[in-house]
Structure 1
Amino acid sequence: MQAIGLIFICDPVDVDEQSDALQMQISTSVWNWFDVFESKYTSFSHNMKQYAYSRLRTFSRGSVRV
């Protein structure tokens, strides 16, 4: 689990500059979170496929022996 924080700039000299900085901060935080989620999901999915394949292989070997 990763915490995402945003920094708000108060009393900006230039409102457009604040908007750009805030958008950059948001996009950086959000994309980092997606990268973490994607890597965790990919790892989980890979492990589940390996587990399912090993169970299927074990079951197949057991049914052939009978």
Structure 2
Amino acid sequence: MARVIFDEERCKGCELCATVCPKGIVVMARDRMNSKGYHPATVIEMDKCIGCAFCARICPDVVIEVEK
């Protein structure tokens, strides 16, 4: 099973990762903010992740890592 890891402190909440996720499981964490004041990206249903790494490839700040 694939696992997505976000460096939440460096995420600026641009939502690009959420737009490319084919499963629609990458969302912005509306219940918390990082120290910069942004809602960081997170995965809501990790068991549905297919490990495509589209989210990691599109991230302009390289804050996403995908483990397969």
Higher Rg of the two aligned structures: 1
Which category describes the TM-score, using the shorter chain as reference length? under 0.3
Give the TM-score normalised by the residue count of structure 2: 0.22
- Which structure's residues are more often strand, by fraction? 2
Which structure would you say has the larger RCO, counting Cα contacts within 8 Å and 6 or more residues apart? 2
